[in-house]
Every structure is written in C-alpha cells, then in structure tokens.
Structure 1
Amino acid sequence: MKLKHLLAGAAMMFAGAAGAQDDPFKVGFVYVGPIGDGGWTYEHNEARLAVEEEFGDSVETVYQESVPEGPDAVRVMQQMALNGADMIFTTSFGYMDQTVEVAEQFPDVLFEHATGYKRADNVSTYSARFYEGRAVQGHIAGQLTESNIVGYIGSFPIPEVIRGINSAYLHAKEVNPEVEFRIVWVYTWFDPAQEAEAARALIDQGADVILQHTDSTAPQAAAAEQEGVYTFGQASDMAEFKPAPRVSSIIDNWAPYYIERVQAAMDGTWESQDYWGGIDSGMVEIGEITDAVPAEVRESALALKESMGSGEYHPFTGPINRQDGSVWLEEGETADDETLLGMNFYVEGIEGDIPQ
C-alpha cells in the first residue's frame, strides 16, 4: 500500500476519534522562523493567538516554529495531520510543493498556503499586496536620503520580493530622480547575523536608507549604530527602533483572514481560493510614520496610502519600462495581477541582474 494511502487511512481514524469525542476544531500553523523574530513569523503567530481568542474552547491551535523549507516541512505537516489537525496554515512561499504533497495524502484536512500559487481541492492560497506598502516606503525613502543611495536587503529572488523592490524604486524615483538602489541578496528569510552584515555592507556603500524583505530586526539594530541612517519595519511594526532609525513599517495583519477561514472551515462553507489582500482590506497596514520624517513627506505618504486603499491609484501605473528599456506599461495602463504574480524583471533604472 502506498504511503499516501496509509497516511490517509490514519488521518481518517484520527478524525473519527475526534468526532466521537466532540473535540475542538484543531488548527495547525507551520512557521519558517521563530515566533520571537519580531517580523514575519511574529505576526502570523499574533494571528494564531487572535484565532484562539475569537473561538475560545471550540478551537485548539498548535504550531511548529523554525521549520526549514523542504523535507522537514513535509514531516511536520504530516505529523500535525496525524495528530488530528483539521486545518493547517503553512506560512512561507517555500512550503508550496510540500503543502500540495501532504494535502494529497490527507484529503480531509484543509490547507492554507501563504504567498504561493498552487491550489487543490483542499489547498487554498493567500497573500498580501506588500508592494502597496513598498510604494509608501519608497515615497518616504526617496525624500529622506541625502546620499541618494537606498539599500535593499532581498531574501530570495522570487516575484513577491522583486515586486516590492520595483514598487519601492518607482516611488522613490518619482520624488527623487537622482536616487539609486543597491540590492543585496541574502538567500534567507531569517538570519539576524547575515541580515545585519548585509545592512552594514549597504551602509558602507553609502546607503543612508535601508529597506528589507527579511524577517528579523537585525538591520534595524545595525542601522542604529550609524547616525543618520533610516530603516523601515518589515512585516511587523518593529516599534522598539522608533522614532529612528525605524521611521515607518509595513505591518501584516493576518488575523481577520485567519478567523474568517477557520469559521468557514467549521461551518462547512470553506472553498479553495486565491486571496490577495491589500491596504483596502486591512491586510497591509502602514505603521506610524514618526517625527523623524518631515511633516509634508508624512502627509504625502499618507495621501498615497489612502489613494491605494480607495482604489484610486495603482502602484504599477504606466508609463513604466522594463530594465532593458522596452515598454512594459503604456501611459495610464495598470499591471494585471497575473503579470505581478509572475514578476521576474526589474524596472528601468535599477542596476544589476536578478540572480537565477
């Protein structure tokens, strides 16, 4: 008998026992970093706690932190399912194939995968339009920098990260035509030592504003060692570093989505879907813009946020060219979601190649 049949049979036995005892609905969470990272995983765990608070004794949550993307993730998901999880949230892009694999083995378990694009009858995907927050950050960064060099710490060269770089650059360039972006790829979501080293390297190259798509507060701490360097919180507020170097942040608010999807699963109304929330839904929030930012810049940044939230403005509105100078978006044309989800190119003005 194949492994997936054995596992599915075991899952049915666990589900039957749970039903007989009228146990609480069990929800598992698989985290790529530690819950104390101060960023990405911290916010996912805050949403898990919100689920517990919302449903009380009718829901039980379990989690595993610092799970590497790969075979270890498969084992963790399998164990959660075998231990009676009715629903599992897998919260990193690199869990995509593993989520689909385990979901096939456990057809009665519902899976929600963050930031991926592969679905099945029992696999749904969800993500946030982080690029909207990056537009606000770029707008501020372009006006804060005195060296005209903005540093960007990239995690992995996947569309989610590339979208953010492009959005931040376009909006920095709009307010400061002289601005340059320097990008360092660290090939990790969470490695404080490596993130700090990348921040220091960018500062050594002249960057006086640092953006990051990594999960720890280490770049904030590294920037705090240098006077006149500004940073932005990533995924959570990173408020311990304000009013400077952290001058604002992107906050990922997963709680409403998690509560809604758990409720749907318990009601029997859950269906597989692709969900992409932004400023309009509250999934992307902009943390306090501190007094380290001039008042007029703060006001214009908030106006930009409001225009995206209302749908009046799209961060990728033409004319925009690709890095090689070819036309991507004509005057007034906006990017469609399909193109954004597969974005694998820099826009015109960004130097360097995207690693393969």
Structure 2
Amino acid sequence: MTLSRRTMIKIGGAAVALPLLGSTAFGQAEKLKIGFIYVGSINDNGYNYAHNQGRIFVQDQLGDAVETVYVENVPEGPDCERVLRELAQQGCKLIFATSFGFGDSVIKVAAQFPDVAFEHATGYMPAANVGLYNARFYEGRAVCGTIAGHMSKTGKAGYIGSFPIPEVVMGINALALSGRRVNPNFTVKPVYISTWNDPAKEADAARAMIDQGIDIVAQHTDGPAALQVAAERGIIGGFGQGADMSAFAPDTQLTAIIDNWGPHYLASAKAVIDGTWVPGNTWEGLKEEVVEMGPYNAKVPADVVADAEKVRTGQIDGSFHIFTGPIKDNTGVERVAAGVVMTDGELLSMDWYVEGVEQPA
C-alpha cells in the first residue's frame, strides 16, 4: 500500500481534477455517478486491478446511463475519509470502498450523506445506507491447497499475508486443510507484511521462506512479486491472487484465484437507477462466479488437476466444504467436531490457525 495517492480522479480513460462542490431515496432520474476507491494501484495486476475491471464492466454495460470515477492508492485511515467525502460532494450517489480498512471511514461519511448508497468490500459494519459485499476467497484457496499438497516435494508451503484479519486467516487455514487432505504432513508457514501491496516486502518474504525450505508460495497480497521470486529461485510454483498473474511467471503460476466483481457492481448500479437499492450483505464464491480459478499450468499433472477440479466443483454443487470437522487447531485442540460445518459467522470471526499452520512470529 502506497502512503500517497494520486490527486486526480480518473473518468474512463481520462484524468480530471477533483474540485469540491459546496431525501434518502436511492432512485436516479439522471445519469448515475459512481465512485470507487482502491487501496492500491489499478496496475497492481491483482486485487485492485480486479476491482477496476469491475468498474469498467459497469461502464461498458450501462454506457451513458452512468459515469464512473475512481481514486487509487488511498491509505486506510484519515485520507480515506477525505476521499469518500469528496466523492459524495462531487455528486456520486453510489460509492464502493474496496478495502477492509476503509470501514470506519465509510460508516462516518455515510452518516453525513444519507442520500448516497455506500458499499464496503470485505467489511462487517452495516448501516442504513451502507451495504456489505465479499467473496469467498477461501474456496479458491481450497483448490490451491489441493494442488500444493500433491505437488510440494518438501511438504512445506509459504503464505504471504497482509494483516492477521479473519479473511486472511481463513485463507491460510483453507490452504492448510486442503493440503493436509492430500498429504497429512503438509505444513504452511505464514508471514505477515503489514501492507496489502509492497513488492519489495513481498519479494523479501518469499525469499526468506524459500531459504527455509518451502517450495510452493501462496499469498493474500496484491501483486506478482512473490511469484516472480518463485520463478527466479526455481521452486515448484505458486498461485496468482485476485487476477491471473501468469504473464509475470508463466512457468511458475500453477493457477490463480480470480476476483470477478463486475456482476455485483452492475446489479448495485441498476438497483440505484431503478430506486430498489437496499443495503445488502453478500458473500459469494465459486458458485456465483464471483471467485473463479485461472487456467491450470501445463506442469500440473492430470490426476492433480482432476482432484483440484473435484474440490472446485464440489464447492459449487455444495457437496464439499473445506471447513468441515473434525478440525483441530495448531495446538491440538479440537475446534470443530466431526461432520460439523463451520458457520459463516464462525468463519468471519476466525482468529485461530488449524493443525499444520506454523504460529506466526
């Protein structure tokens, strides 16, 4: 995450300065202006890139009925609050805040603009004009973990995380559980870098873990730096995050978790235009195609692809759920009894690691 942001709002392909402008119904009689704020760059080739592709999808689908604007590289904190306020003052009637740490600012600014519809990605605090939306990223990590469990020669994977929030912990645990389903001795080493996007930190973390014996790297950060290090060091491989990153490591990316936000953004925009928008709370995954898997690398053996596909399709038809007991934590305590599936509430508050995950330093 960059600690400075661009001072321009971008509309379509052009950039224009953002001057400030001095009913609670959400219907639109004129062109709907939609604002997006991103914690990183739209060129990160990952999470923020995927959200911006969703914005472009809405613009393409609705054409002259909407105008979309965005601000990238917005830090989580006071600057976010200011940007949200500026977007509302500029006439945005629908605003998407796309990072977990934007939550406090969204709640504060939304109270000041009750006629604006706000939606917060990966958030947990709703309000009268604040909706929540999320993606079941862990479903993709269950697919990745299946591949890792089969292909790792050391039985050790690394996981570069941003912050130890439930969303990230959930992903680490899904990777470990699916890997251990294949190889009971499979382990995952998590390292937190306290940012969503810092290529140097991501690369350093990947190098350090490779030096300690991991031969597959996963991540919950936004760029391809870890995959590039994996390619340089010649380990078995890794996984794209948020988007297909194979262009940066074509022989190393084994598959990718691809975020497809466009349909959600389109549905929300149409609802505001129609006057039917209400603050929802969605958490969709592979079944709804909000989470998709990238192509499998040619070096993934056919039997491994078949097992990964079984996990992917099982999560779509409901026959498989990675968080089904018995599940022990990494201290040996049973947390989930045999046959019990963890609830969404339990997953969204997850603050413990499953068996096979090294406790972060």
Give the alignment's TM-score, normalised by structure 1.
0.92
Q: Choose the corresponding residue for 2:181, options 169, 174, 179.
A: 174
Asked whether the 8 Å contact 1:323–1:349 carries over to 2, the reply is yes
**In structure 2, the residue corresponding to 1:80 is in which secondary structure?**
helix
Match of 1:77 in 2: 84
* 1:122 paired to 2:134: no
Q: Choose the corresponding residue for 2:281, options 274, 278, 288.
A: 274
Deviation at 1:287, TM superposition (A): 0.7
Deviation at 1:29, TM superposition (A): 0.1
Deviation at 1:242, TM superposition (A): 5.1
Deviation at 1:11, TM superposition (A): 7.6
Structure with the higher helix share, 1 or 2: 1
Asked whether the 8 Å contact 1:242–1:290 carries over to 2, the reply is no
Work out the CA distance in 1 between the residues paired with 2:156 and 2:333: 25
Work out the CA distance in 1 between the residues paired with 2:148 and 2:136: 19
Q: Choose the corresponding residue for 1:224, options 208, 228, 231.
A: 231
Q: RMSD value over aligned CA atoms?
A: 1.6
Deviation at 1:221, TM superposition (A): 1.1
Work out the CA distance in 2 between the residues paired with 1:11 and 1:269: 28
* 1:132 paired to 2:139: yes
Work out the CA distance in 1 between the residues paired with 2:191 and 2:337: 30
Bigger drift between 28-37 and 179-188 goes to 179-188
* 1:294 paired to 2:301: yes
Q: Choose the corresponding residue for 1:25, options 25, 29, 32.
A: 32
Give the alignment's TM-score, normalised by structure 2.
0.91
Match of 1:45 in 2: 52
User: Which letter maps to 1:266?
Assistant: I
Match of 1:86 in 2: 93
Structure 1 segment 62-211 matched on structure 2, within 5 A: 62-211=69-218
Work out the CA distance in 2 between the residues paired with 1:310 and 1:289: 21
Deviation at 1:198, TM superposition (A): 0.7
Q: Choose the corresponding residue for 1:322, options 305, 308, 329.
A: 329
Q: Percent identity?
A: 48
**Structure 2: any 5+ residue segments left out of the alignment?**
1-20
Deviation at 1:332, TM superposition (A): 1.0
* 1:348 paired to 2:361: no
Work out the CA distance in 1 between the residues paired with 2:358 and 2:197: 25
Count of paired positions: 339
Deviation at 1:149, TM superposition (A): 1.3
Name which structure has the greater RCO, CA cutoff 8 Å, separation 6+: 2
**In structure 1, the residue corresponding to 2:188 is in which secondary structure?**
strand
1:23-76 residue CA offsets vs partner (Å, 9 max, x unmatched): 410000000000000000000000000000010011000000000000000000
1:247-283 residue CA offsets vs partner (Å, 9 max, x unmatched): 1010000000100011011111111121000111000
Work out the CA distance in 2 between the residues paired with 1:337 and 1:235: 22
Bigger drift between 178-187 and 118-127 goes to 178-187
Deviation at 1:179, TM superposition (A): 1.6
**Structure 1: any 5+ residue segments left out of the alignment?**
1-9
